[in-house]
Chains A and B, each alone.
Chain A
């Protein structure tokens, strides 16, 4: 039954210390993709207003504490803190987040400066990752965000990225 799948998914995600792909959840619950997706949606709704939330990044899902309670968690457990990022890193991260999959050349076109080292740094911090190769000359690396990016920003999914007050239309257009 679907309820069983919902509970099973909750148990799996609660005990997993890494994000899981929908396909892995299918195998674990012996359910097809549609039932897993349906169950995930039910789980997400049932966690509404609770201390943990269902996080989704492309094809991966995971549980995490709600950002509202980050302060409380921190006071109780003193978890490791992540390193600070530069202004340049945030700009680069924003471009990758909204335009993924995106090549270095495109990021540099928007920022007007060389971005090689900034991208390398973000990659080492597991905030972005190579998600494929472009079809253009030299088959450039294409970058996308990671689950870690959502965790650091406290976002449930990429759909929860902030919308810029103006210029949103332009960002949207540039995605094509």
Chain B
């Protein structure tokens, strides 16, 4: 009536969830979220949802759940007179809740925008630089326990292999070759080497290969201070 539906359409961008879409629609309708009736934006919301490509069923379910509740809400508003049932009373409360969530989400979106703006303005605060580790033999021979401990800390940061993907498998020999090849180019930090793994299995093979190279006295591991970075380098061929 006072709002023609043609005012509502939002330029179609990708909305990451029902809240983001709803927020965009509500902001077209009225600046003050608390004055907007969700029943009013229902048609626009339904249109947007219908236009979506079904990519992620779970995500689509969230959009539809919101759409279903909004449609029910609209039907209650359009058919007045009856004493509201329990379910309907709950739904009217839900409208307030959604509006509050929208208001909160809007506030964070605004902050996110300011953070993005800051990051784009070259505002980086540079800390003192990491010092290069000298190649000289200043370190004590490193205990293998420290290596294992360091490895366990890195391993926790590598995602397990996704179920659907058949990842490549690595043999120990392949990894031995890859690592020695890399080390010929210069020393590597242990963490960097392990974080290159695509999944945990690869990380484990990398680590075992490294231990093997240590055992064969082909590489040297160095650590300047406890908990500091661990560097791996090739040993010069003896004599």
Contact = CB atoms under 8 A, between A and B. Distances in A.
Interface stretch (B88-96, B123-131, B212-220): B123-131
Q: Is the interface of A mostly helix, strand, loop or mixed?
A: helix
B126 A111 contact: no
B105 A62 contact: no
B110 A153 contact: no
Which of B19, B124, B128 is packed against the most chain A CB atoms within 10 Å? B124
A50 B118 CA distance: 20
Nearest to A66: B125
A166 B107 contact: yes
B181 interface: no
A90 B127 contact: no
B126 A79 contact: yes
Contacts of A166: 107, 110
B122 A110 contact: no
Nearest to B59: A113
- Interface size classification for chain B: 35 or more
B16 A88 contact: yes
A150 B125 contact: yes
Contact of A120 (B124, B131, B159): B159
B108 interface: yes
A101 interface: no
Contacts of A120: 159
A151 B19 contact: no
A91 B108 contact: yes
Nearest to A171: B107
B161 to A, nearest CB: 15
- Interface size classification for chain A: 35 or more
B178 interface: no
A94 B62 CA distance: 23
Nearest to A14: B128
Contacts of B17: 111-113
B122 A71 contact: yes
Given A112-B105, A170-B104, A64 B111 contact: no
Nearest to B128: A17
A162 interface: yes
A140 B108 CA distance: 22
Given A152-B119, A167-B104, A87 B112 contact: yes
B109 A91 contact: yes
B125 A17 contact: no
Contacts of A66: 125
Interface string B162-183: 0000000000000000000000
A174 interface: yes
Contact of B115 (A65, A73, A94, A110): A94
Nearest to A99: B108
Given A17-B130, A90-B116, A171-B108, A154 B103 contact: no
Given A63-B128, A82-B124, A170-B103, 6 more contacts: A64-B125, A65-B125, A70-B126, A93-B112, A95-B108, A97-B115
Those 10 A-B pairs whose CB atoms lie nearest each other, nearest first: A167-B107, A154-B123, A112-B19, A113-B17, A67-B123, A64-B125, A90-B112, A94-B111, A112-B17, A162-B114
